[in-house]
Structure 1
Amino acid sequence: MAISIPERETAGVKHAPKQVRTLPDGWLCGLFLAPSGLILALMVFYPFFSLVYYSTLQFSMMRPRIEPVAVGLGNYIDLLNDNEIWQRFAFTGKFVLATVLIQFTIGLTVAYAFQRNFKGRDFLFTVALLPMMLCPIVVGFLWRYMFNSEWGIVNWLISLVGIAKVDWVGRSENALWAVAVADAWTWTPFVILLATAAFRGIPKDIRESAEIDGASTMFTFFHVTLPMSLPILVIALLLRLIDAFKQYDLFLAMTGGGPASETQTAAFALGKIAFGYFHTGEASALAIILLIVIMGLSMIFVRYLTRLSNRF
């Protein structure tokens, strides 16, 4: 005869806890990051390696039925032997130097002015950031109308002081500065934003000590404010150099690459080869060259400025 044990007698029996197997922290983080990593790989690595592959072929996306011809480094050799491509890179370098110089000259000055408390400072700071929020192609057409040689507001303003009308976008030497001014108007707020954040991150005690010791405003800026905010300013400068090197929208809207293709940047030439002539293989090779140039300049620039920042 089986004897049943009452439930109340077994309720107090302590059972050994079950051992739950857990994954190491590294594996757990990897599982959570796997979906985003896969998406990143599909969006970055696949297009990049496809671009490298296409750069070794001679074909056009407009003629997919024609069998691509493998040319190896032929596209690269043709581009590097093309004098027009070197002219595009030279013009790009001039534009980058001009626009970045304007942006940082104005941006650092305005950001330093915003360090002082005055009425309406927050409102003016918000207004100063508005150009950065506009679409680049819209900015290009806006400044194109403003720089119009016949009825543009720029020529009207300079005529008030007795200066003759200037053909801003019809001459290459003027068009360079016209587009540089438009680009600086758009992205100087970015420099103001980062520079203001860098300046406000400096402890007030250091500035007050400099003022007590009788340091002038210029001395404080160049020997206290600027060196201590240099790391953030280096990042801002690097980002602006890279973005200016890829500038395409403003030149398309303001000059169209003219006159006589004299205002075509390297990025503009890339777009023209890819979507004007539909030489997909050659355009892919030029994109790789442009990427290498930007990466090389960025590495040299970062290495040099890192040494410079370590001195302070």
Structure 2
Amino acid sequence: MSMQTTDAAATMRATGKPAKKKSSGRLMILGFLSPTLLILIFMVAYPIFSLVFYSFHNFSALRPNAGMTPAGFDNYSYLLSDPDLWQRFVFTGKFVFLCVSLQMIIGIFVGYQLQKSFRGRDVIFTLLMMPMMLSPVVVGFLWRYMLNSEWGIVNYMLTLVGLGKVDWLGQTDAALWAAAAADTWMWTPFIILLATAAFRGIPETIYEAAEVDGASQAYVFFRITLPMSAPVLFIALILRLIDSFKQYDLFFALTGGGPGSSTETVSFAVAKTAFNYFYTGEASALAVILLCIIIGLSLILVRHLMKLGERY
């Protein structure tokens, strides 16, 4: 009996299974993953590396024949010393905080109600999902017409109850609330969808035990429902934070960045710098800054999500 046969027999006696060649298994896994990895490298890694490369050069897509000249950190230092950019970051932060807070609160409350069985629940759930199916540009134009200061339906309803008209899109604070309302109307169904799925995944026996113990509805909601659905709700929070930070098309259709440039988000500034002024190097640097902020915030939230996953 050869040494190879002896090793295989020993492995079979120890594990009860025939020995397998690890190398062939690894090659098979690599073969299955290689198409996906190549697509990711082409679709994700290459654009990011190109973005970082352009950010360290003076380059304009309008004059590609002029070539690129190394700029070091000049683009970054110029952007970070620009007070207008910091105003865009402040406005973006306000918008993200306002939108995500409203969407999470409304979405969790409505999702908690929709987990209960009642007549017409499926119809209501389907109708609530409809705004999420629209394009952000369509939503922006729709709310732009609704919030028109002269003949918009929102101001018309305000006049019916004796209130004055509001220039929703002509004032910075009002425009912020208008954009937050439009974004909340569109993306709250996403939170409702995930929240409802998370709430329905909680075993009924837990609620029955709480009812036997005489627990109140508030106690059940805050001490059972929310903690046990926290990982899913945290994922919804992360996704909405990332999407809100890179919001552009809604503001393009709703306010156009106005009045002036007071409602320009950071993503809006990236697009404006790149495609209006054709300062490709500066736009790339600004995009890298935004990307670093989103990645850093996501890593912090994902770390907390992992802790929640271990707890529940």
- TM-score, length-scaled by structure 2: 0.90
- 1:193 corresponds in structure 2 to 193
- 1:68 corresponds in structure 2 to 68
Following superposition, the deviation at residue 264 of structure 1 comes to 0.6
Following superposition, the deviation at residue 306 of structure 1 comes to 4.6
Following superposition, the deviation at residue 37 of structure 1 comes to 1.4
- Output one character per residue of 1:25-83: Cα deviation in whole Å (capped at 9) or x when no partner: 11111112212211211111111111111111101001111121111111111111111
Q: How does 1:16-55 map to 2 (within 5 A)?
A: 24-55=24-55
Change (3 A) 1:308 1:163: farther
Change (3 A) 1:210 1:127: same
Following superposition, the deviation at residue 116 of structure 1 comes to 1.3
Structure label with greater radius of gyration: 1
- Output one character per residue of 1:81-135: Cα deviation in whole Å (capped at 9) or x when no partner: 1111111111100000101111011101110001111111111111111111101
Name the amino acid aligned to 2:219. Answer: F
SS of residue paired to 1:163: coil
| Whole-angstrom CA distance in 2 between matches of 1:276 and 1:173 | 26
- 1:229 corresponds in structure 2 to 229
Residues 104, 191 of structure 1: 8 Å contact kept:
yes
| Whole-angstrom CA distance in 2 between matches of 1:309 and 1:92 | 30
SS of residue paired to 1:129: helix
- 1:258 corresponds in structure 2 to 258
1:154 aligns with 2:154: yes
- 2:8 corresponds in structure 1 to none
- 2:248 corresponds in structure 1 to 248
Following superposition, the deviation at residue 307 of structure 1 comes to 4.4
Change (3 A) 1:236 1:22: closer
Aligned length: 292
Name the amino acid aligned to 1:147. Answer: L
- 1:268 corresponds in structure 2 to 268
Residues 230, 308 of structure 2: 8 Å contact kept:
no
Q: How does 1:64-103 map to 2 (within 5 A)?
A: 64-103=64-103
Name the amino acid aligned to 1:95. Answer: F
Change (3 A) 1:152 1:218: same
Name the amino acid aligned to 1:65. Answer: N
Following superposition, the deviation at residue 295 of structure 1 comes to 1.0
Bigger helix fraction: 2
Name the amino acid aligned to 2:118. Answer: F
- 2:301 corresponds in structure 1 to 301
Following superposition, the deviation at residue 300 of structure 1 comes to 2.2
Residues 111, 196 of structure 1: 8 Å contact kept:
yes
| Whole-angstrom CA distance in 1 between matches of 2:285 and 2:69 | 14
| Whole-angstrom CA distance in 2 between matches of 1:33 and 1:153 | 53
Q: How does 1:279-294 map to 2 (within 5 A)?
A: 279-294=279-294
| Whole-angstrom CA distance in 2 between matches of 1:69 and 1:118 | 66
Which segments of 5 or more consecutive residues in structure 2 lack a partner in the other structure? 1-20
| Whole-angstrom CA distance in 2 between matches of 1:252 and 1:234 | 29
SS of residue paired to 1:196: helix
- TM-score, length-scaled by structure 1: 0.90
| Whole-angstrom CA distance in 2 between matches of 1:67 and 1:96 | 38
Runs of 4+ more than 6 Å apart:
none
- Output one character per residue of 1:162-200: Cα deviation in whole Å (capped at 9) or x when no partner: 111011111000000100010011100100010001000
1:56 aligns with 2:49: no
Residues 58, 68 of structure 1: 8 Å contact kept:
yes
SS of residue paired to 2:65: coil
Name the amino acid aligned to 1:198. Answer: A
| Whole-angstrom CA distance in 1 between matches of 2:163 and 2:302 | 42
Change (3 A) 1:158 1:216: farther
Name the amino acid aligned to 2:226. Answer: L
Name the amino acid aligned to 1:108. Answer: I
Following superposition, the deviation at residue 217 of structure 1 comes to 1.7
